[in-house]
Amino acid sequence: MRDVLIIESFKNNFCLENYLTKCSTFTAKKILFFRTGHINLPVSPYNNDINIDKSCKLCNSDILCDEFHVLLSCKALEQPRKNILKLPKNLSTPNTYNFGKIMSNHKLYNNLATFINHLSSLFSNV
């Protein structure tokens, strides 16, 4: 039940996402991997090991290192977020509304895919 509530907070309609049809294969795959928890973050739907420390090793905080954290609030990723993701000022505040808007904004898809690619390289070494 909890997972359904989380999904409903980011997804308004049950439909095919735009990034799957309006982007290059590279971009669509990167966003799909990110949205389905396949980029080796400590917190993912596929990592149920309770003995693993799930805090962020990039910013050395006790905050859970999940998709929301790396996309919007990790202090260690401020420069890559600014240089690669290039979020409009109105979407840069860390909250669930902005997370949903970023993930559904077709104008950001290419930058988002490049940022996710950067994340993948960082978390393959953590």
Q: Which domain holds residue 108?
A: 2-123
pLDDT value at residue 80:
93
d(CA 118, CA 32): 15
pLDDT number for residue 45: 52
C-alpha–C-alpha distance, residues 11 and 64, integer Å:
22
Per-residue confidence of the chain (126 residues) as pLDDT tens digits?
Answer: 334 334 445 566 677 776 678 788 888 888 888 887 777 776 655 556 666 777 888 899 888 888 889 999 999 999 999 999 999 989 989 998 898 889 888 889 999 999 999 998 887 755
Total-model pTM: 0.77
Alpha-carbon separation of residue 50 from 6, 36, 46, 54 (angstroms): 21, 20, 12, 9
Query: Per the structure block, which two tokens stand in for 79?
Result: 């420069």
Number of folded domains in the chain? Answer: 1
Predicted local distance difference test score (pLDDT) of residue 56? 86
